């Protein structure tokens, strides 16, 4: 946990008037899908502190799609880094769109130069973010960014402008009709309501992925148990992997390359989610689905505490070795995931699912 007295802030510029609530609050989270999930406690805190304000969230296209049913979010703006917002010209265009919304408060939740530029262009009287961007922000949190758990970084930024909020859990929502749609799709594929394990074997960084042979071994153990069902989820990057797994285990439900909205709908029917330190795992947690998280190169501290999550890790001497994962193990053995046996993971799953 971090301590408020360790946080250094700059108080230059305008301060929030406690007698006058902001009409528009804009949060910029330009990082990955998982980072957007970890931003959801901030959205709930803003809605509670300023119930009359419009909350606008800026993020990558796939990330903001997660928020379509979030009750605190009034509007989203897509940051298409590789498309219309590519380069400085595209970033300037997005900044002008943000400025057109006349935000009173800009919260830069992602620590990046692009976020700082958007803060400066936004025209917001109060702009708070991480780092040393004196021209970008009126208030800054200089404490080491990685020392603060992901879900608490929004609270740290609010404290920098004098707003204290309690800790909140990750929070995503799916309405009743969408949940029913997800269940109906699974039933159409042959699922008959047995405890369902949603498995997401992929991750953006290779070192966070469980080896395919271990996933296959785990599926063999589930098949021998013969009381649970499995659905495999992944994006286009996991197509080949899931194809091989389905060919070897034709009884599993092949759910690869679904839109995120449909993936979220189906997660709500799962009894448990199994995956690494990746976006799908954190999405499941935010939806209230119990999760078994396979932790390899990344640290546990930033993930925070969660009673609905079970971490399986070997806790080797070389762990953690990376803040977000890498393309290759720096020691060339990838032991943190290679030695994480299917037997150990199956045991953890067995303790959480009905026998």
- pLDDT reported for residue 1: 35
Task: Give the mean pLDDT of the chain.
Answer: 91
Q: Which is higher by pLDDT, 170 or 135?
A: 170
For the beta carbon of residue 340, count every other beta carbon within 10 angstroms: 21
Q: Which of 103, 106, 105, 104 shows the shortest CA–CA distance to 117?
A: 106
pLDDT range class, residue 12, cuts 50, 70, 90: very low
Q: What is the pLDDT of residue 305?
A: 81
User: How does residue 83 score in pLDDT terms, banded at 50, 70 and 90?
Assistant: confident
Which distant-in-sequence residues (6+ apart) come within 8 Å of 305 by Cβ?
none
The whole-angstrom separation of Cα 185 and Cα 97 is 38
pLDDT at 20 over 90: no
Range(s) of the chain covered by CATH 3.40.50.2000: 4-160, 180-352
pLDDT above 90 coverage of the chain, percent: 84
**311/333 Cα distance (integer angstroms):** 21
Q: Is the pLDDT of residue 3 over 60?
A: no
Average pLDDT over residues 264-271: 97
Q: How many residues does the chain have?
A: 355
> What percent of the chain is helix, strand and coil (3-state, nearest 5)?
40, 15, 45
What is the CATH code for 180-352? 3.40.50.2000
Supply angle C-alpha 240, 242, 244, rounded to 5. Answer: 70
> What is the mean predicted confidence (pLDDT) over 273-294?
96
Which pLDDT tens digit goes with each residue over 308-349?
A: 789 999 999 999 999 889 999 999 999 999 999 999 999 999
pLDDT at 355 > cutoff 70: no
Task: Please report the pLDDT score of residue 142 as a whole number.
Answer: 79
Please report the pLDDT score of residue 284 as a whole number.
96
CA 310, 314, 319, 324 torsion: positive or negative?
Answer: negative
Structure-block tokens of residue 297: 């190169």
Choose among 205, 39, 202: nearest CA to 108: 39
Measured N-to-C along each axis, helices 260-267 and 176-188 cross at an angle, to the nearest 10 degrees, of 90
Confidence of residue 96 (pLDDT cuts 50, 70, 90): very high
Average pLDDT (84-112) is 94
Q: What is the pLDDT of residues 46-62, one digit of tens each?
A: 999 999 999 999 999 99
Residue 17's pLDDT band (cuts 50, 70, 90): low
Residue in the structure block whose two tokens are 């925070």:
304
Cβ neighbours of residue 95 under 8 Å, at least 6 residues apart?
Answer: 117, 118, 120, 121, 122
CA-based R_g, the chain, Å: 21
Task: Please tell me the predicted confidence (pLDDT) of residue 134.
Answer: 77
One of 3.40.30.10, 3.40.50.2000, 3.50.90.10, 3.90.470.20 is the CATH number of 4-160, namely 3.40.50.2000
Centre a 10 Å sphere on the Cβ of residue 50 and count the other Cβ atoms it contains: 19
Contact between residue 117 and residue 91 where contact means Cβ atoms under 8 Å apart: yes
Q: Residues 147-192: pLDDT tens digits?
A: 789 999 999 999 999 999 999 999 999 999 999 999 999 999 999 9
Residue 304, pLDDT score: 86
Largest CA distance in the chain: 65
pLDDT at 39 over 70: yes
CA distance 333 to 315: 15
């Amino acid at each position: 946990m971090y301590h408020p007295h360790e946080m250094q802030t700059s108080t230059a510029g305008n301060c929030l008037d406690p007698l006058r609530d902001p009409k528009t609050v804009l949060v910029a989270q330009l990082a990955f899908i998982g980072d957007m999930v970890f931003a959801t406690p901030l959205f709930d805190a803003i809605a509670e502190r300023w119930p009359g304000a419009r909350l606008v969230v800026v993020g990558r296209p796939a990330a903001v799609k997660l928020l379509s049913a979030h009750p605190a979010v009034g509007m989203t703006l897509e940051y298409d880094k590789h498309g219309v917002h590519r380069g400085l010209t595209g970033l300037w265009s997005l900044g002008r769109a943000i400025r057109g919304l006349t935000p009173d408060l800009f919260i830069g939740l992602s620590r990046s130069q692009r976020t700082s530029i958007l803060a400066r262009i936004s025209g917001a009287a109060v702009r708070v973010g991480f780092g040393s961007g004196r021209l970008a922000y009126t208030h800054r949190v200089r404490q080491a960014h990685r020392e603060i758990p992901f879900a608490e970084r929004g609270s740290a930024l609010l404290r920098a402008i004098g707003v204290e909020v309690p800790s909140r859990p990750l929070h995503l929502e799916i309405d009743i009709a969408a949940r029913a749609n997800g269940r109906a799709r699974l039933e159409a594929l042959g699922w008959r309501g047995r405890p369902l394990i949603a498995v997401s074997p992929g991750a953006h960084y290779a070192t966070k992925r469980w080896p395919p042979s271990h996933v296959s071994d785990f599926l063999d153990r589930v098949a021998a148990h013969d009381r649970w069902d499995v659905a495999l989820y992944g994006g286009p990057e996991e197509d080949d992997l899931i194809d091989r797994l389905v060919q070897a285990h034709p009884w599993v439900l092949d759910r690869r390359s679904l839109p995120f909205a449909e993936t979220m709908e189906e997660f709500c029917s799962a009894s448990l989610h199994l995956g690494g330190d990746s976006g799908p795992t954190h999405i499941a947690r935010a939806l209230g689905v119990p999760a078994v998280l396979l932790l390899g190169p990344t640290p546990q501290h930033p993930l925070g505490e969660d009673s609905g999550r079970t971490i399986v890790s070997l806790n080797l001497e070389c762990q953690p070795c990376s803040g977000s994962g890498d393309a290759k193990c720096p020691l060339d053995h990838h032991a943190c995931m290679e030695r994480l046996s299917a037997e150990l993971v199956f045991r953890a799953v067995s303790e959480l699912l009905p026998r």
